[in-house]
Chain A
Amino acid sequence: MGPSGSRRRMEHILGGTLTCRSLFSVDSGYRMNDNQLINHFPNHYEISRKDLLVKNIKRYRRDLEKEGNILAERGDSKYLHLDFIPTTFVLPADYNMFVEEYRKAPQSTWIMKPCGRSQGSGIFLINKLSKLKRWSRESKTPFQQQLTKESYVISRYIDNPLLIGGKKFDLRIYVLVTSFRPLKAYQFRLGFCRFCTVKYDSSVAELDNMYVHLTNVSVQRHGGEYNSLHGGKMSIQNLRLHLESTRGKLVTEKLFDQISWLIIHSLKAIAPVIATDRHCFECYGYDIIIDNSLKPWLIEVNASPSLTSTTANDRILKHKLLDNIFSIVVPPSGIPDVRWNKIPSTEALGDFELLIDEDLVNFQDNSENPNLMRSGYKWK
């Protein structure tokens, strides 16, 4: 990549989240030079922590509503267009609000997730308030002391997921952000569905069977049914094909448009709070669940999506992903440069598609019409 002299400059192009945090902390005293890039934004936890993502999206909706923006339109007390995350509360902070919501539909199932953990660890389902109370009693530290330790989010469980072959799945979609203000984001065309190995069953008896409910490969691979040849992963193109032939082309297209739409708005929601730095770019792994009415729900966003591969197809996909990321973040000259306008050529995009580039949007049309914006960069 570039002349041999640029090798030293490339050193800092990759770093773990911890390295990045220490790098950007006030007392590190480190300043990156103009030819360095780094693969995280300093406070990416604003989107990757489950509680902060919810907080930011809620704030984003309120802000739009105050502005009187048509996107924040409500119907039946729900947001019509911005209702793309399941109803979520942070515990213990929002406990009372949760109970109020719970009482509206006491039969519903909720899912508890520790805010800071990943790969499905610490997750469980509850269908009774008493179960939650018992959990809080039994967990080593009571709520009050837990405030500083581990907080949880509790979300309405999507108990009507779209099933294929009787099994639940979620989508992993990769999104590259090269700048938050202005927002520049790209969506990777390739991606996959992660299937549960066991048939879906929403009955109470199966509530504790995580092989039924959680799609995480890290959970599923411990099941007896796990197949290491395909790893329970099916490509998104195949999903598309399946949906087009079973549900029709139009609804399928609408679904994928809605997915791109929710990605754009989740990014817009965190854009104001992200410490933006021209050296940074970041690749997010979006986890999305589709329900049986073909509505996509944003479950969570990972700032360090797994780049290890479990299957041969996985290796090809992730290789392409990395290759395409580098070709987008590095300017045509081949040497990273913070002064570059971060508008890559069409050829450099590879399998990425432009989701939004506010530089280009402002340039072409200064209207705030989201439909216009979307139709220009359709996600195929």
Chain B
Amino acid sequence: MEDVKEKSIHHTTIKICEDLKKSPAFLSLYEDIQKLVVTPSVKSDDFKYTLLKAMQDNGLESELKKQHLQMGKNEEKGCQPVDIHKYRPVYAPKDFLEVLLNLKGPIKDKSQGDSSQWEFTQLPLKVKNLAELIVKLHKQCYRLITCTNNTTTDYLRGVSIQELSRGEHILAASNSLNTTQSFAAFEAERIVLGEKILTKNYAPLAQEFLKRVALDVLGREYGVSLLGAEVKPLHKNYFEMLREHVLQYDLMTDKLIIKDINLTASNDDQYFVFEDVLYQVMLCFSRDAEILKSLPNQPAFMQVVIKGKQNGADNTMVFPPSGVIPFHGFTMYVRKFVLQRRARYYRTSMIVKV
């Protein structure tokens, strides 16, 4: 019995290794590990242990896990088409309000089985003014946070749970934070903690942190960490190639994108400055054939024959190359990432869309 189990683990390992080798980021990961091996922290007499230790310290272990996770995700997506009708885009405060108003209560409907729904519930809050309400909410939050079962405890290593769940200072609206000084101190503390978590380079940990603290300052780094969107030379080259494509040919969908941007981002007082960045990213996106590969249901795309050529497999191409036909508000999905550098921006937004 033990033997069978051993064998199965062995097979899985081989399979994972094979898959890993095929992944585009493998080369750079391999290089990073090789570099690590020559450092003095890895000793030849206890190679296995010291290498593992060094990988942990340098965040490479998490990198490996992430790679594995991503691969797993892609496979899952491939075989389980998601019912997207349940989801609706929210890209304006107006939409958000609508979603909030349509929430259904957590009342279990027996006929629908296990799925519970959410709804607005009127809670009697015995407060006389806004200040009392803040105190009240703040206490509620504290309770919530301390109750939360911390699933990532294993990974907290350098960061203690106490640090993370010190509830009384999670919300900025707390009474003790009225003065600018104490707020600054509070923010500085959060940033230090936030940076500490970033060095671990592990997405679930970053996620837990973000659930509790909204930090504008580290927003970019957290976005990258959560999505595993580090930019390697590989990605830069790929982005450059897409940019070349933008220069080489026009797509009919470009007009849709431009119209979409003109109707949304260009009119928004927060994003109008970035309309150009948005164009560039969206035009690249529509030419990115990798997107189509990752899409489970092969959505609305067309097979078109190149103008003036004979109808045949060689002259047929998918249109648009990404397989995604933009719709109203499409661009607004990427707007949140406009603060980043372009190549990285592209990678981040691509991951989000897929």
Contact = CB atoms under 8 A, between A and B. Distances in A.
Nearest to B220: A245
Given A165-B275, A165-B277, A380-B180, A235 B269 contact: yes
Given A165-B273, A249-B191, A380-B180, A227 B267 contact: yes
B273 A195 contact: yes
Given A165-B276, A244-B217, A227 B266 contact: yes
B319 to A, nearest CB: 30
Interface string B35-70: 000000000000000000000000000000000000
A311 B267 CA distance: 12
Interface residues of B, number: 21
Given A165-B276, A234-B273, A245 B217 contact: yes
Contacts of B216: 241, 244-245
B219 A245 contact: yes
Contacts of A249: 191, 217
A241 B337 CA distance: 12
A236 to B, nearest CB: 12
A245 B274 CA distance: 15
A164 B273 contact: yes
Contacts of B184: 378, 380
A238 interface: yes
Contacts, number: 55
B220 A230 contact: no
A234 B339 contact: no
Interface string B284-302: 0000000000000000000
Contacts of B268: 229-230
Interface string A222-242: 000001011011110010011
Interface string B253-270: 000000000000011111
Interface residue tally on A, bucketed by range: 20 to 34
A246 B180 CA distance: 24
A242 B267 CA distance: 18
Contacts of B276: 165-166, 199
Interface string A162-175: 00111101000000
Interface in A87-118: none
Interface in A216-271: 227, 229-230, 232-235, 238, 241-242, 244-246, 249
B269 A242 contact: no
A21 B142 CA distance: 59
Nearest to A240: B216
Interface in A118-174: 164-167, 169
Nearest to B339: A245
Contacts of A234: 269-270, 272-273
A327 interface: no
A16 B267 CA distance: 34
A17 interface: no
Contacts of B220: 245-246
A324 interface: no
Q: Which residue, of B219, B266, B269, B275, has the highest number of chain A Cβ atoms within 10 A?
A: B269
Contacts of B273: 164-165, 167, 169, 195, 234
A235 B274 CA distance: 14
Q: Per DSSP, are chain A's interface residues mostly helix, strand or loop, or mixed?
A: mixed
A43 interface: no
A315 to B, nearest CB: 13
A232 B339 CA distance: 18
A35 interface: no
Contacts of A199: 276
B217 A311 contact: no
Given A165-B273, A165-B277, A245-B220, A229 B339 contact: no
Nearest to B266: A227
A245 B219 CA distance: 7
A313 interface: yes
Interface string A311-325: 101000000000000
Contact of A229 (B191, B269, B277): B269
A242 B339 contact: yes
Interface in A164-199: 164-167, 169, 195, 199
A195 B276 CA distance: 14
Contacts of A169: 273
A373 to B, nearest CB: 16
A230 B275 CA distance: 13
B269 A241 contact: no
A241 B180 contact: no
Interface string A196-219: 000100000000000000000000
Interface in B76-109: none
A249 B219 CA distance: 12
Contacts of B277: 165
Contacts of A232: 272
Interface in A306-348: 311, 313
Contacts of A166: 276
A233 B269 contact: yes
Contacts of B191: 249
A242 B216 CA distance: 9
Nearest to B219: A245
B294 to A, nearest CB: 27
Interface of A: 164-167, 169, 195, 199, 227, 229-230, 232-235, 238, 241-242, 244-246, 249, 311, 313, 378, 380
27 contacts: A164-B273, A165-B273, A165-B274, A165-B275, A165-B276, A165-B277, A169-B273, A195-B272, A199-B276, A227-B266, A229-B268, A229-B269, A230-B267, A230-B268, A232-B272, A233-B269, A234-B270, A234-B273, A235-B270, A244-B217, A245-B216, A245-B219, A245-B220, A245-B339, A246-B339, A246-B341, A380-B180
Given A167-B273, A229-B269, A378-B180, 15 more contacts: A165-B274, A169-B273, A195-B272, A227-B267, A229-B267, A230-B267, A233-B269, A234-B273, A241-B339, A242-B339, A245-B217, A246-B339, A246-B340, A249-B217, A311-B269
What are the 10 tightest A-B residue pairs by CB atom distance, in nearest-first order?
Answer: A230-B269, A165-B273, A245-B339, A229-B267, A245-B220, A249-B217, A164-B273, A165-B274, A244-B217, A165-B276
